Structure 1
Amino acid sequence: MKKAFQLKSLSFMILALLISGVASAQTDPKPLASPRDSVTAKAGSATITINYGSPSVKGRKIWGSLVPYSQVWRSGANMATTFTTDKDITVEGKKLAAGTYSFFTIPTEGDWTIIFNKIAVQPGSYKYDVAQDALRATVKPVKSAEKHERLVYKINTDGFTLNWDDVTIPVSIK
């Protein structure tokens, strides 16, 4: 009788451990390869928020390969990057009304086109519609002093930068 009780207790403990292991595996999802990230700060008197998917280089050739030249890019991973300003601002000398926009770029080996599109939530650039652009401007990429394994946006008093691999894209805001 004592042996049967011990066997039932052991069986119950094994079953409980198995169930807790399965439950734990279901609540610990695999981390995203390109997790969402965001940055919020002041650029001039406006509060800017940029929300984006942050991919990694992972030894890949980025510019002109993973991110093709002369094509609209979502400027991040997964869903399109969003850009929010709480005040009207001037971007590269052009007026942009307060609001939330999707942010795209068209990279080239020379100057880049930056795009603020009125459709804020988009699945990447798959349904991008040029007719919905609120603002387009041209910027000059800069060779980064350091390599950035993950894509990161930084906001400063003069505007913001997109930084990935060996490239920094400065965007001026007033």
Structure 2
Amino acid sequence: MKNLFTITLMVIAMCFTTDAKAQKFSGLDKSPADIASYPSDYKVSDKLVRVIYSRPQLKGRSISELAPAGKVWRTGANEASEITFYKDASIGGKAVAAGTYSLFTIPGANEWTIILNKNLNQWGAYSYQESADVLRVPAKVSSGSESLDAFSVAYKDMDKGTNLVLGWGNTRVTLPIVF
């Protein structure tokens, strides 16, 4: 009788503990995360730079609604984008030590200001502190022939480095990086 009671108690306990340990998964993010590395060829493991960002989508809205001109923007959606340099680099003639930085921008009509900030794991630009800036440089704005609904990051080869290109709508922001 004692064994039957023990076994019954164990079966009941197992039934209740299964529900207690069930994992809850959230739904898909509306602004999915992406990674853009350079060199872009997946066969090259010796990367020079990588950007981790979320991809907001215009969905009929303008860039100025989502990334207002003259205001610090997280350069993506959700958490502030992060850029990692695996080797020392030069951006706009200014030295950048290898490491990981938050990537912010200040949109403008003819040029955007690119900001590297030493504070990581920031949600949006809400906790952005200018005093933690490592670098601020201007980047050229041009117009692309293809409209991109989702914010995107890409690279374009150049001598001794790459151009980091931010694309959204018809806007293209180009930042030369020399290694």
TM-score of the aligned structures, taking structure 2 as reference length: 0.77
RMSD of the TM alignment (CA)? 1.8
Aligned residues: 147
Determine which of 137, 156, 163 is the counterpart of 2:167: 163
Match of 1:37 in 2: 34
SS in 2 for 1:147: strand
Take 2:36 and 2:28, find their aligned partners in 1: how far apart are those partners? 20
Q: Deviations over 1:44-82 (max 9, x none)?
A: x8611100010111011122x221110000000000000
Structure 1 moving runs of 4+ over 4 Å: none
Q: Deviations over 1:111-155 (max 9, x none)?
A: 211000011221111011111111110112111111011111012
Take 2:53 and 2:77, find their aligned partners in 1: how far apart are those partners? 7
SS in 1 for 2:68: coil
Take 2:143 and 2:39, find their aligned partners in 1: how far apart are those partners? 25
Q: Is 2:49–2:83's contact at 8 Å kept on the other side of the alignment? A: yes
Q: Is 2:35–2:50's contact at 8 Å kept on the other side of the alignment? A: yes
Which amino acid counterpart does residue 121 of structure 1 have in structure 2?
N
Take 2:135 and 2:67, find their aligned partners in 1: how far apart are those partners? 22
Take 2:95 and 2:47, find their aligned partners in 1: how far apart are those partners? 13
Pairing 1:1-174 to 2, within 5 Å after superposition: 29-42=26-39, 47-63=48-64, 65-157=65-157, 158-174=162-178
User: Identical aligned pairs, as a percentage?
Assistant: 35
Unaligned runs of 5+ in 2: 1-21, 41-45
SS in 2 for 1:131: helix
